């Protein structure tokens, strides 16, 4: 029979189109935020750059903030993925080398789109999906915490402190163009913090 039950390997142009639109909108949002900041970020501009009508945009996103939320999620997931992969590659390295590797990954990620990363940090807080709601962000912290725990370098609090410290250091350095040695400076900060916090396990 030329027509089998017709269930499994169907083409799905509709859903594929939908996914492409969603991706285009998110990419457009990222581009605009990076190039123009929050000011130029309006739904009409995003739709235009994404090559879809404003109506279509609203078919896939309930509102402007949802676009931001999706972008934040995507960036957080990409960063976590990169970090997880890097942690896996630290197996045979000493602590210094391992931290240096992670520092490199963090710098690379933030440096690829510095303005965007900053804006998203701030907006994440504004959108209120700050606590708990942001699964990918929590996973990033967990990834670092796992790395620290394996080598008995610190706990969850150290992981979060390092994460925020790194963001501040990298963003600031990129702003002023002080990229030389940046990975090493970040490694100093991280290793220094860890060394002293272990020396004095506090109360």
Partner DNA sequence: GCAGAATATGAGCGAACCTTCATATCGGAT
Partner DNA sequence: ATCCGATATGAAGGTTCGCTCATATTCTGC
Cβ 140 vs Cβ 163: under 8 Å? yes
DSSP H/E element including 82? helix 64-88
- Count of beta carbons in the 10 Å neighbourhood of residue 38: 12
Please identify, using beta-carbon distances, which residue of 68 and 163 lies nearer to a second copy.
163
Binding status of residue 8 toward a second copy by CB under 8 A: no
Supply the angle between the helices 114-126 and 156-176 in degrees, to the nearest 10. 130
Q: Which of 5, 163, 179, 183 binds a second copy (CB under 8 A)?
A: 163
For residue 152, count CB atoms less than 10 angstroms from its CB and return exposed for 0-12, middle for 13-18, buried for 19 or more: exposed
Partner whose footprint covers residue 36, from DNA, a second copy, none (CB < 5 to 8 Å by kind): none
Please identify, using beta-carbon distances, which residue of 29 and 169 lies nearer to a second copy.
169
Report the SS3 class of residue 201.
coil
Cβ 35 vs Cβ 18: under 8 Å? no
Task: Report CA 189 to chain centroid distance, whole Å.
Answer: 21
Residues 23-52 that bind a second copy (CB under 8 A): 37-39
State the Cα torsion 103-108-109-111 to the nearest 10°: 120
Please identify, using beta-carbon distances, which residue of 93 and 195 lies nearer to a second copy.
195
Please identify, using beta-carbon distances, which residue of 24 and 123 lies nearer to a second copy.
123
Binding status of residue 62 toward a second copy by CB under 8 A: no
Partner whose footprint covers residue 203, from a second copy, DNA, none (CB < 5 to 8 Å by kind): a second copy
DSSP H/E element including 123? helix 114-126
Binding mask 86-125 for a second copy (x = CB under 8 A): --------------------------------xx--x--x
Q: Which of 23, 35, 54, 178 binds DNA (CB under 7 A)?
A: 54
Binding status of residue 14 toward DNA by CB under 7 A: yes
Residues 172-201 that bind a second copy (CB under 8 A): 172-173, 175-176, 178, 181, 184-185, 187-189, 191-197, 200
């Amino acid at each position: 029979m030329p027509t089998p039950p017709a269930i499994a390997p169907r083409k799905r142009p509709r859903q594929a189109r939908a996914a492409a639109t969603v991706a285009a909108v998110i990419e457009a949002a990222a581009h605009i935020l990076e190039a123009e900041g929050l000011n130029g970020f309006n739904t009409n501009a995003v739709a235009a750059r994404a090559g879809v009508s404003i109506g279509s945009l609203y078919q896939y996103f309930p509102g402007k903030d949802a676009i931001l939320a999706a972008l934040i999620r995507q960036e957080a997931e990409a960063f976590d993925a990169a970090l997880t992969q890097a942690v896996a590659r630290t197996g045979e390295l000493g602590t210094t080398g391992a931290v240096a590797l992670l520092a490199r990954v963090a710098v690379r990620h933030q440096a690829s789109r510095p303005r965007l990363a900053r804006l998203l940090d701030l907006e994440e807080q504004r959108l209120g999906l700050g606590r708990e709601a942001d699964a990918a962000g929590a996973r990033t912290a967990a990834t670092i915490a796992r790395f620290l725990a394996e080598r008995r370098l610190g706990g969850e609090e150290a992981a979060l402190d390092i994460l925020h410290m790194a963001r501040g250091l990298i963003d600031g350095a990129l702003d002023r163009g002080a990229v030389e040695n940046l990975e090493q400076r970040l490694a100093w900060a991280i290793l220094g913090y860890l060394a002293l916090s272990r020396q004095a396990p506090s109360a």
